[in-house]
Amino acid sequence: MNYNQLGNTGVLVSELCLGTMTFGGNGYWQAMGTLQQDAVNDIVKTSFDQGINFIDTANVYSFGQSETLLGQSIKTLGLPRHELIIATKVRGRMGEGKNQVGLGRLQIMQQLDDSLKRLQVDHVDLYQIHGFDPITPLEETMRGLEDVVRSGKVRYIGCSNLAAWQVMKANGIADKYGWTKFISTQNYYSIAGRDLENEIVPMVQDQQMAILPWSPLAGGFLSGKYTRDNKPEGDSRRLGFDFPPVDQERAYDIIEVMQAIGAAHGVSVARIALAWVLAKPGVTSVIIGAKNTEQLNDNISATEVSLTTEQLEQLDAVSARPKPYPQWMIARQGNDRLGVFNPTQSAVAK
């Protein structure tokens, strides 16, 4: 297991992060997993024993159950708190009340206190907003996050599912007032979903932030069990909860290439999909979830797969999407600054 710097901080996190969306199974979260305490203990212990020191959860996962199960597992197993980097999130609806959702100061403070109780800890290491709140000014959100950092209940803050301009605006507000900035962004990123590379990846590299990819197996679609000849059916999660969205025909093309590369390495398609994400620039820690220890161990073994330059180029080629505007124009205009001058592709070309 390798360890990477968490953004521009002195904290080191494992290159894989244990995701806990499979813990609990309350309400519509059943589609993700229904692991209860004994199974959760096995998953957490296996992860820790394999070198994973980073665990990610959220208040909204099974409406608090995931945090409760995780907190009890850490206590039951007697894991050393100082060796764990625990992350959770705030934003989602946690009840029917008018103010039981969102990113106002009121919600941030109340939801953090509730999360700490469920986790049975006095602080979290990374507190992340779980999306954008369209009715709360970013100034209020960033001040609320600054308050919980100053209270000692939060060490660092991060964001998830924001556009690049929203991240930059939020950190610009924090910079203006001397408040804590986001050090990480948690986003969907897989070989079947590379939208992140258009704006987020360049922003992260420029700002020295961490990328924490979620759903690197595209909601299980890249697990290896689906092919053109074996499409989702029966009790497949994809039939009950088709998320994140996947262009299935394109994904089958990618899977075919991954099958060949996997065969060359003697490993599963899932390991190849994870190894590809682990190799991408800007990626700090890839979030993996599992419904059993066998699945977890297979995912962890992806850290042992070393893809060749040629194999990475094959995977990049089969999964490539046309660059949107203005990315293609930026690349075109940059040609006369990056090496051989080509007048047909220069900044003055019409």
235: CB partners within 8 A, 6+ apart: none
Residue 177 is a catalytic residue: no
User: What is the enclosing helix (H) or strand (E) of 276?
Assistant: helix 269-278
**Is residue 47 a contact partner of residue 296, using CB atoms and an 8 Å limit?**
yes
216: CB partners within 8 A, 6+ apart: 189, 190, 222, 273, 274, 277, 286, 287, 288
**Is residue 88 a contact partner of residue 124, using CB atoms and an 8 Å limit?**
yes
- 311: nearest Cα among 273, 342, 341: 273
Taking the C-alpha atoms of residue 70 and residue 119, their distance in angstroms, rounded to an integer, is 7
Structure tokens at 305: 């797969």
Instruction: Kindly give the interhelix angle for 269-278 and 293-300, rounded to the nearest 10 degrees.
Output: 50
**Is residue 153 a contact partner of residue 123, using CB atoms and an 8 Å limit?**
yes
Give, in order, the Cα–Cα distances in Å from 320 to each of 177, 255, 263, 317: 41, 14, 22, 5
**Is residue 54 a contact partner of residue 92, using CB atoms and an 8 Å limit?**
no
CB atoms within 10 A of CB 68: 20
Taking the C-alpha atoms of residue 176 and residue 169, their distance in angstroms, rounded to an integer, is 10
Give, in order, the Cα–Cα distances in Å from 67 to each of 72, 93, 179, 219, 325: 9, 15, 27, 21, 41
Instruction: Name the catalytic one among 3, 61, 127, 226.
Output: 61
Residues marked active site are found at 61
